[in-house]
Amino acid sequence: MRRKERAEWVQRRLNQLYPTTPIPLDHDTPFTLLIAVLLSAQCTDKMVNSVTPQLWELADNPQSMSQVSESEILKVIRPLGLAPRKAKSIRELSRILIEKHNGQVPQCFESLEQLPGVGHKTASVVMAQAFGVPAFPVDTHIHRLAQRWGLTNGKNVKQTEADLKRLFPSDVWNKLHLQIIFYGREHCTARGCDGTKCEFCRTLYPGRKKPFVASKA
């Protein structure tokens, strides 16, 4: 298969497997989504969802969160990776949202990426899932899968994101990135599939005999 043919097969099969794409992180507002995505760095969505209900009891909006001490936030999110840094970012970005954005999460990549603890991937998730703006958030897992499936030869997530955006129409980006995540978690995991075992890897590369070594993000 050529790359475009692989992309068409991937999109068609993912639509069959995952016709609906619920957002994995529990949230009610753009602000709670922003915080949940920030917390998900180097941590599973399941772990994030286990601590956010208690965090929302403390505060679920920028005004309230800016009044909560960093130590109180840390006490709640301590089970998560990088908790001290995340607690500081949550309090600081809440203050910035009040001072610079009228207490609202900005609907702009540039403004989001200027917030503490918010990188391009986090901003992309918020833009896609909170505001419906076409985006293709690429984390290390999507980067690895896209390489395994021959959709990119990107050496980093930035190049992989650009390649995926060229391959797929923008009106499917928001759904497709979630579909890839769902399939990866169930079937094409870092340890469970080496590029030769799952349905996608076997179908797209039937002649591949050795484990595929992906470039690190």
Query: What CATH number is associated with residue 60?
Result: 1.10.340.30
Class of residue 131 by CB neighbours under 10 A (exposed 0-12, middle 13-18, buried 19+): middle
Same domain, 51 and 114: yes
Q: What is the pLDDT of residues 60-92, one digit of tens each?
A: 999 999 999 999 999 999 999 999 999 999 999
| Residue numbers of the domain that contains 149 | 3-21+136-204
Kindly list the distances between the CA atom of residue 18 and the CA atoms of 49, 126, 199, in Å, as whole numbers in the listed order.
Answer: 21, 21, 15
Active site residue 139: yes
Question: Would you place residue 191 in the very low, low, confident or very high pLDDT band (cuts 50, 70, 90)?
Answer: confident
For residues 43-53, give the mean pLDDT.
97
Q: What's residue 11's pLDDT?
A: 98
Q: How many domains does the chain have?
A: 2
Same domain, 93 and 143: no
Annotated catalytic residue within 86, 139, 163, 194: 139
Annotated catalytic residue within 86, 121, 163, 194: 121
Cα separation, 139 vs 121, whole angstroms: 7
Same domain, 107 and 160: no
Cα torsion angle, 21, 134, 91, 65, sign: negative
Query: What CATH number is associated with residue 172?
Result: 1.10.1670.10
Determine, yes or no, domain membership for 191.
yes
Cα separation, 27 vs 24, whole angstroms: 9
Same domain, 142 and 98: no
Task: Point out the domain boundary residue: 131, 149, 182.
Answer: 131
Task: Point out the domain boundary residue: 113, 131, 149.
Answer: 131
Other C-beta atoms lying within 10 Å of the C-beta of residue 161: 24
Same domain, 46 and 117: yes
Determine, yes or no, domain membership for 211.
no
Q: What does pTM read for this prediction?
A: 0.94
Same domain, 44 and 126: yes
Same domain, 11 and 70: no
Average pLDDT, the chain: 96
Determine, yes or no, domain membership for 123.
yes
Same domain, 104 and 175: no
Active site residue 75: no
Cα torsion angle, 105, 109, 110, 113, sign: positive
Same domain, 16 and 107: no
Question: Would you place residue 215 in the very low, low, confident or very high pLDDT band (cuts 50, 70, 90)?
Answer: confident
- Give the DSSP per-residue string, 129-179: HHH--------HHHHHHHHHTTS---SSHHHHHHHHHHHS-GGGHHHHHHH
Determine, yes or no, domain membership for 213.
no
Q: What's residue 99's pLDDT?
A: 97
